[in-house]
Amino acid sequence: MKKAWIGFVAAAVVAGAAAVALTTGNATAPASTFVLLDGSKRTTEDLKGRVTLVNFWATSCVTCVGEMPKIVATYDKYKGRGYDTLAVAMSYDPPSYVVNYTETRKLPFQVAIDNTGSVAKAWGDVQLTPTTFVVNKKGEIVKRYVGEPNFAELHQLIEKLLAET
């Protein structure tokens, strides 16, 4: 059954269908160290206290590149209210491509490169891009999207999570 489900998700993503939103049951985000483009490091622990979108992407992923302006707009809309975004480039993405994309598109949030693939593995063995996680202020994953999220629905979720204390 699991292989059939994975096949369905892969087919949906390849076909350009809307994202498959999976509720995770508020599992604690896995302990991870993100290496940012400037060489600094950020950990999962650093996410606590803010609502954070963790987006696994690649410069070679058409859907990822297509959704990035919407991710930027979402960040710009909520950044002043305790919201953050962390874009994690996949291990197979050449670092020079990631740096070039980030600089030419002026991405306003932090970008990490998962050189070893260990972060993607820790976050549920992410292989399909884009895969996006919404993490609440307590550091719990409340939603996972495989494919481009429905941004209206995502904004409603962010509003709800930002209102929580």
CA distances from 116 to 89, 92, 113, 121 (A): 11, 9, 9, 9
pLDDT of residue 121: 97
96, 116, 123, 154: which is closest to 131 by C-alpha? 123
In this structure, are residues 83 and 51 in contact, taking their beta carbons and an 8 Å threshold?
Answer: yes
Q: Are 77 and 162 in contact (CB under 8 A)?
A: no
Q: How far is residue 26's CA from residue 164's CA, in Å, rounded to a whole number?
A: 14
Calpha distance 164→110 (Å, rounded) = 24
Is the distance from CB of 74 to CB of 53 less than 8 angstroms? yes
- CATH of 2-163, picked from 3.40.30.10, 3.30.2230.10, 3.40.50.150, 3.30.590.10, is 3.40.30.10
Handedness of CA 65, 61, 21, 86 (dihedral sign): negative
- Does pLDDT of 2 surpass 80? no
Query: Range with the lowest mean pLDDT among 22-26, 36-40, 157-161?
Result: 22-26
C-alpha 34/C-alpha 86 separation (Å) is 9
State the Cα–Cα distance between residues 29 and 1, nearest whole angstrom.
25
Task: Tell me: pLDDT of 47 over 60.
Answer: yes
pLDDT of residue 17 exceeding 50, the answer is no
